Amino acid sequence: MDAIAFPSPFSQIHPLFFSASQENAPRYHPVSMIPNPIDFSRFKCCSITGSKLTQVDTDQLFDEIPLRDTFTWNKLIQTHLTNEDPIQVTATYQRMLLLGLKPDRRTLPRVLAASRLLGNLSLGKQLHCHVIKFGFFSDAYVTSSLIELYGQLEGVHAAKWYFRTAKFDKNNAVAWTLLAGMYVKKNKPELAIDLFNQMIDHGGKIVDAVALVTVLAACGMLKSLREGRRVHQIAMDCGLDCDVLVGNALVKMYVDCGSVKDARGVFDGMRCKDGISWTAMINGHVKKGGFNEGLKLFRLMNRDGIKADAFAISSVLPACARVAAHKNGKEIHGHLIRNAIDMNVTVLNALMDMYVKSGSIEYASRVFARMKDKDFISCTIMILGYSLHGQGMVGVELYREMVENSRVEVDHMTLAAVLYACYSACMVQEGRYYFNCIRSPKVAHCALIVALLARAGLFDDAKALIEERKISRHGEVLRALLDGCRIQQNFNAGKKVIEQLCDLEPLNAENYVLLSNWYACHEEWDMMNKVRETIRDMDLKPRKAYSWIELKNKVHVFSTGDVSHPRSGSLYNILQNLLKNVEAEGFRLTSDFSLHDVDEERECNPCGHSELLAISFGFINTVAQQQIRVTKNLRVCSNCHEFVKAISKKVEREIVVRDPNCFHHFKDGFCSCGECW
Q: What is the full DSSP assignment across 237-298? A: HTT-TTSHHHHHHHHHHHHHTT-HHHHHHHHHH-SS--HHHHHHHHHHHHHTT-HHHHHHHH
Size, binding site for Zn ion by CB under 5 A: 7
- Map the footprint of Zn ion across residues 44-63, applying CB under 5 A: none
- In angstroms, the Cα distances linking 345 to 4, 201, 412 are 48, 47, 20
Minimum CB separation from Zn ion for residue 663, in Å?
8
Angle at which helix 291-303 crosses helix 275-287, to 10 degrees, equals 160
- Map the footprint of Zn ion across residues 645-674, applying CB under 5 A: 664, 671, 673
- Map the footprint of Zn ion across residues 104-143, applying CB under 5 A: none
**Binding span for Zn ion by CB under 5 A among 93-101, 325-333, 554-562, 600-608:** 600-608
SS3 113: helix
- Cβ nearer to Zn ion, comparing 270 with 671: 671
What is d(CA 300, CA 353) in angstroms, rounded to the nearest whole number?
24
The contact mask relative to Zn ion for 614-643 (x = CB under 5 A, - = no) is: -----------------------x--x---
Minimum CB separation from Zn ion for residue 647, in Å?
13
Minimum CB separation from Zn ion for residue 471, in Å?
28
Angle at which helix 376-388 crosses helix 361-370, to 10 degrees, equals 160
- Cβ nearer to Zn ion, comparing 515 with 640: 640
What is d(CA 459, CA 496) in angstroms, rounded to the nearest whole number?
13
- Cβ nearer to Zn ion, comparing 139 with 483: 483
**Binding span for Zn ion by CB under 5 A among 67-75, 335-343, 513-521, 598-606:** 598-606
Minimum CB separation from Zn ion for residue 538, in Å?
26
Question: Could you tell me whether strands 628-632 and 44-48 are parallel, antiparallel, or unpaired per DSSP bridges?
Answer: unpaired
Beta partners for 52? 47
Minimum CB separation from Zn ion for residue 677, in Å?
5
* CB atoms inside a 10 Å sphere around CB 1: 7
Minimum CB separation from Zn ion for residue 632, in Å?
9
Q: How many residues does the chain have?
A: 677
Question: Which residues, 6 or more positions from 488, have their beta carbon under 8 angstroms from its beta carbon?
Answer: 454, 455, 457, 459
- Cβ nearer to Zn ion, comparing 281 with 323: 323
Minimum CB separation from Zn ion for residue 643, in Å?
8
Minimum CB separation from Zn ion for residue 304, in Å?
44
Among 532, 609, 635, 658, binds Zn ion (CB under 5 A): 609
Position 542, amino acid: P
* CB atoms inside a 10 Å sphere around CB 491: 14
CB 396 within 8 Å of CB 386? no
CB 88 within 8 Å of CB 111? no
- Cβ nearer to Zn ion, comparing 479 with 665: 665
- Cβ nearer to Zn ion, comparing 234 with 571: 571
- Cβ nearer to Zn ion, comparing 125 with 632: 632
CB 369 within 8 Å of CB 385? no
- Cβ nearer to Zn ion, comparing 177 with 391: 391
- Cβ nearer to Zn ion, comparing 319 with 640: 640
The number of helices, as runs of H, and strands, as runs of E, in the chain is 32, 10
- Cβ nearer to Zn ion, comparing 155 with 669: 669
Minimum CB separation from Zn ion for residue 188, in Å?
51
Minimum CB separation from Zn ion for residue 628, in Å?
15
Task: Give contact residues for Zn ion (rule: CB under 5 A).
Answer: 606, 609, 637, 640, 664, 671, 673
